[in-house]
Amino acid sequence: MRPVIFELFGLPIHGYGLMIVLGYLLTVYTATRIVRKWGLEDVFYDLSMVMLLSGILGGRTMFYILNYSAEFQHRSPFAFFKIWEGGLVLYGGVTGGCLGGLIYMSWKKLSVLDYMDVSGIVAPIGLAFGRLGCFMNGCCYGRVCSESYAIGVHFPEDSPPWFHQFNMGLLQRGEIMEAVHPAQLYQAGHDAMLFFILLYYVGRGYAPRGAGMPLLWFLYAIGRFFIEGLRNDTPLTLTGLTVSQNYSLAVVLLSGVLLAWIYSRSSDNRAAVVPVISDIREKKEKT
């Protein structure tokens, strides 16, 4: 855990914020290469900025809604924008980012299906780095695991998971907390795996046009549902599941229906990437 990595001219550089920035830069770099390879209009820098800002707004808003308490009434309004301290809900970020992206693409009259396919491929990069930021920040921690578990983590005193066990009466000041599952790293690994799967399956044209984004959220939500069950920082709802698990089930259902519809029309709209790239190259060679 490294909430603050270093100081630059007296300004603390937070691990969470640094991971968000690195994830964003790598996501945009990868997306730009794909966009150019596919022969699309290279506007992903602008599109990504719109999706990033609207995603942060959506994620931060949902965090405040789900965690609202009397404590927030006494905080400065500027605290809403302190994302480097943590406090983003992914599904709120997804909703905000997608809405912002769709509005921008409609305004610019871009090919929504193609750009959403690109976004579906590269989004896991940002998600993975975001979870690494969570690990550095100490949030989104897992349940207590066996001391013999090879990758169980002991977070330092005064960290969120340490305080959780302290408030539960499981330890006292100066004591080492019980090991917990590194749920953040599980999620980061899962997201990285999704990137390579989608890069191969969607990037090589094996998926119908427009399937990239719903396929990402279908697979993401399945993994998130089970990893969420190992976390210990979110309360259960009336369903016996966490808020994110409820959202995951809804996302699996909605994205599954959308994928079924897309694949049912694949004979009409299977603009597989490989043939598309070949057509573009042939046209360029002829001209």
* The total number of structural domains that make up the chain: 2
Of 154, 180, 206, the last residue of a domain is 180
Token pair recorded at residue 99 = 């809405």
- Out of 9-18, 47-56, 68-77, 217-226, pick the least confident: 68-77
Nearest Cα neighbor of 198 from 111, 112, 105, 119 is 119
Distance CA 176, CA 190 (A): 29
> Is the Cβ–Cβ distance between 187 and 227 less than 8 Å?
yes
Query: How would residue 91 be classed by pLDDT, with cut points 50, 70 and 90?
Result: confident
Contact 124, 194 (CB under 8 A): yes
pLDDT for position 274: 44
**What tens digit of pLDDT does each residue of 137-176 get?**
999 999 999 888 889 999 999 999 999 999 999 999 999 9
Residues 108 and 121 in one domain: yes
Q: Do 55 and 107 fall within a single domain? A: yes
* Whether residue 204 sits in one domain with residue 76: yes
167 lies in the same domain as 203: no
Q: Are 143 and 178 in contact (CB under 8 A)?
A: no
Q: Are residues 201 and 81 in the same domain?
A: yes
Calculate the average pLDDT of the chain: 87
Q: Given 127, 154, 180, which residue is the final one in a domain?
A: 180
The predicted-structure confidence for 180-234, as pLDDT tens digits, reads as follows 999 999 999 999 999 999 999 999 889 999 999 999 999 999 999 999 999 988 8
DSSP letter assigned to residue 209: T
Same-domain check for residues 202 and 282: yes
The domain of 60 spans: 4-140+182-286
Residues 189 and 168 in one domain: no
* Amino acid 165: pLDDT: 95
Q: Are residues 119 and 249 in the same domain?
A: yes
The vertex-95 CA angle with 70 and 14, nearest 5°, equals: 60
Cβ contacts of 247 within 8 Å, gap of 6 or more: 91, 221
Q: What is the pTM of this model?
A: 0.85
Percentage of the chain modeled with pLDDT above 90: 61
Q: Do 130 and 247 belong to one domain?
A: yes
Q: Max Cα separation, the chain?
A: 75
Q: Do residues 273 and 136 share a domain?
A: yes
> Which residue carries 């610019």 as its tokens?
108
d(CA 184, CA 57): 22
Same domain for 196 and 68, yes or no, is: yes
**Same-domain status, 169 and 241:** no
| SS3 track for 185-198 | HHHHHHHHHHHHHH
